[in-house]
Amino acid sequence: MRKVIILLTILMFFAGGCAKKSDQKETPPTSTVKKAVSYWTCGMHPSVHVTDEEYKKGKKNCPICNMPLTPVYEEKNTEAQPAQGAAEKAGIEP
């Protein structure tokens, strides 16, 4: 009898786990904006810079260690620009 109770308890945990997965809704990707690749580099040799055009032509490995290159994306400055006169209000001289 004890084995049956343990078995039923284990089965209930598995059934509960499966039910939670079906209740979850699929979330859309956080960012659908494609980032532009600035250049490709090696993780071990950051001095290696390969342009996107060279990478597409076949130069996909580091010339020093032959590891696959990784992309470095362009940074977009999303910081808010201070309003005109904010420097004067803060007492900062140009």
Contact 94, 87 (CB under 8 A): yes
Tokens of 90: 């803060």
**Extended strands (E) in the chain:** 37-41, 70-73
Q: One digit per residue, pLDDT tens: the chain, 94 residues?
A: 888 888 888 878 777 666 555 555 666 555 555 678 899 999 999 999 999 999 999 999 999 999 999 999 987 655 555 555 555 555 565 5
What is the predicted pLDDT for the residue at 2? 86
Tokens 């990478």 belong to which residue? 55
What is the predicted pLDDT for the residue at 48? 94
| Verdict on whether the full-model pTM lies above 0.75 | no
What is the predicted pLDDT for the residue at 8? 81
